[in-house]
Amino acid sequence: MDFRHLQPYMRDMTLPFAKMHGLGNDFVVIDVRAQPVAMTEGLARAIADRKTGIGCDQLILIGGSEQADVSMRIFNQDGSEVEACGNATRCVPLFVGRDVSIETRAGVLQAGRSGALVSVDMGEPRFGWDEIPLAYAMDTLAMPASWDDLPSPTAVNIGNPHVVFFLNSIEATDMARLGPIIEHDPLFPARVNVNFAQILAPDHVRLTVWERGVGFTRACGTGACATAVSAIRRKLVHGPVRVSLDGGDLLIDWTPGGRITMTGPAAHVFDGTLDLDALTAGAA
């Protein structure tokens, strides 16, 4: 991996960072308000590498904003920049030290602490086929598409694209094989997050997420929102919905026509300093 084109930006440069997580979905968070960073796909991938970098599911850059208190840029483990991350959004009030409005590529979000929990206004879900986006027009509530013997899924955009399958048994599904196949299917021109869900009760859903650009993750906030919204639209549950992921539970509240509220924990694990010269020398 060649970082020579970045050397003018990174010579003798160290960066403070925080390691944070929401239900085990972990992040490297860097404040670029006072110390700008020329972030690239390759550099993000090097920082996220769990063997030669710091290691994380997503790299988060906290910057300034003219529309909100701060801005947030999100880079997946594969270096791709994405629009939204619900678990990362819950970490921002802990990182900044107060309730905040956050400018993202998905819009301005509001996040605030209440004891050990953080609630985020995730905005309104979008259901149009071209808003997901899909490659061509179709019903997004019961998509006339499937893979193997999976049931007809639902598609929704929660700042990023999601497809949701409601299964009788998660264990009986070969998610490791189907996740990447569906993520990269030409039906999804921006790729897609794949949610495998099982209804446990009228207000309780179990969820496993194959995350776009990451793979399996212990928790996905936008995936939990997408799944709860889709289950409510199909009249499988009523809100608020408890969504149980491998990392723990999120509470999702949504009324059709309204905005989504997501509530759950976030944790600040440790602080450190990243030596970009050493990182890029090891990754070159």
85 catalytic? Reply is yes
Question: pLDDT means per 10 residues in the chain (284 residues)?
Answer: 44 82 96 90 94 94 97 95 92 96 93 92 96 98 94 96 97 96 98 98 98 93 97 96 97 97 96 85 54
CATH 3.90.79.10 fits 4-123+267-283, yes or no: no
pLDDT at 278 (0 to 100): 78
Annotated catalytic residue 56: no
Instruction: Identify the pLDDT of residue 2.
Output: 47
Rounded mean pLDDT of the chain?
92
Residue among 56, 91, 220, 225 flagged as catalytic: 220
Which residues have a Cβ under 8 Å from the Cβ of 230 and sit 6 or more positions away?
A: 154, 156, 164, 166, 197
The one catalytic residue in 56, 85, 91, 225 is: 85
Q: What is the structure's pLDDT at 146?
A: 84
Same fold, 4-123+267-283 and 154-258: yes
The pLDDT of residue 205: 98
Does domain 154-258 fall under CATH 1.10.1660.10? My reply is no
pLDDT at 277: 79
pLDDT at 150: 96
Q: What is the pLDDT of residue 114?
A: 86
- pLDDT tens for each residue of 76-135: 999 999 988 999 999 999 999 999 999 998 899 999 998 889 999 999 999 999 999 999
Domain edges within the chain:
4-123+267-283, 154-258
